[in-house]
Amino acid sequence: MFGIVTDITCDLPKEFFLKNDVKVVPLYIIDGEKRIRVDLSYDFNNFFDDEELHKKWMAGKLRTSQPTVKDFVDAIKNVEENEVLVITLSSKLSGTYNVAKMASKIVKEKRVVVYDSMTTSAAMGFIVEHVVKLRDENFTVDECLSRIKGLNPEVFFMLKDVGFLFRSGRINVIKYGFLKLTKLSPILTVNDGEVKPYKLVKNSDEELVNLSKEFKRKVWLWNTERFTKGKSLRINPIISVNIGECYGFAGIKN
């Protein structure tokens, strides 16, 4: 048996982490001089329902920060087992992976393996779920790594307001002007570890539903309005700060 550590951008129900003894490392929201720790004890509603925080969010004034080395060291040391598999969000989206690698060198009394999921949100959740299943079936860390590399979960988001990308400095005025002029909305995906435009469409709702039909397993995601189709999860505040109000799904085709 081995211990499992992940970070708060892994969108799974809190109960899953507690039931399966998965340690979760925080990330942080930077609000001016204030640093908000987003961990399992943080009520996501504190972020989404706070009117002043929401105004700053929509204005693109909030930022996020990676975990500290101490956050990872504490989580790893809190694992009872002598082997630990750490699964982080994509190294192309955050320095979290590199911080985890630094922490793994500090904790010398355990064997610590750090895995770059190359994704985030519920797509990362599929990986963590699968690792838990393999661990419970007595697979080793190395055996788990060889199996999760072929999992290939995908995630797709539709933005409620493309203006957020401009206000937060994520697209320039030319790209924003083009989207406004054409009335097109981007569907975003995580490809090769980075958030990239998947498709520009006029009816994103219909496109997302049609796209979701290609996936054998899927979970709907939201932070601005709830899908009524099947199981849904609220996208965590860390991702939300970076892409705005959105909804979509994560899925696996095989």
Q: Given this model, what pLDDT does residue 202 score? A: 85
Q: Which domains does the chain show, CATH number per domain? A: 3-148 (3.40.50.10170), 154-252 (3.30.1180.10)
Strands of the 63-65 sheet, one edge to the other: 34-38, 27-31, 63-65
Q: Given this model, what pLDDT does residue 155 score? A: 97
Mean pLDDT by 10 residues, the chain (254 residues): 97 97 98 97 94 96 98 98 98 98 97 97 97 97 93 93 92 92 91 92 85 94 76 93 94 90
Instruction: List C-alpha distances in Å: 56 to 52, 129, 137, 171, 179.
Output: 7, 34, 46, 18, 23
Q: Given this model, what pLDDT does residue 206 score? A: 86
- What 3 state SS string does the chain have? CCEEEEECCCCCCHHHHHHCCEEEECEEEEECCEEEEECCCCCCHHHHCCHHHHHHHHCCCCEEECCCHHHHHHHHHCCCCCEEEEEECCCCCCCHHHHHHHHHHHCCCCEEEEEECCCCHHHHHHHHHHHHHHHHCCCCHHHHHHHHCCCCCEEEEEECCCHHHHHCCCCCHHHHHHHHHHCCEEEEEEECCEEEEEEEECCHHHHHHHHHCCCCEEEEEECCCCCCCCCEEECCHHHHHHHCCEEEEEEECC
Q: Given this model, what pLDDT does residue 173 score? A: 94
Q: Kindly report, residue by residue over 160-213, the tens digit of the pLDDT.
A: 889 999 999 989 999 999 998 998 888 999 999 999 999 998 877 888 989 999
Q: Given this model, what pLDDT does residue 227 score? A: 67
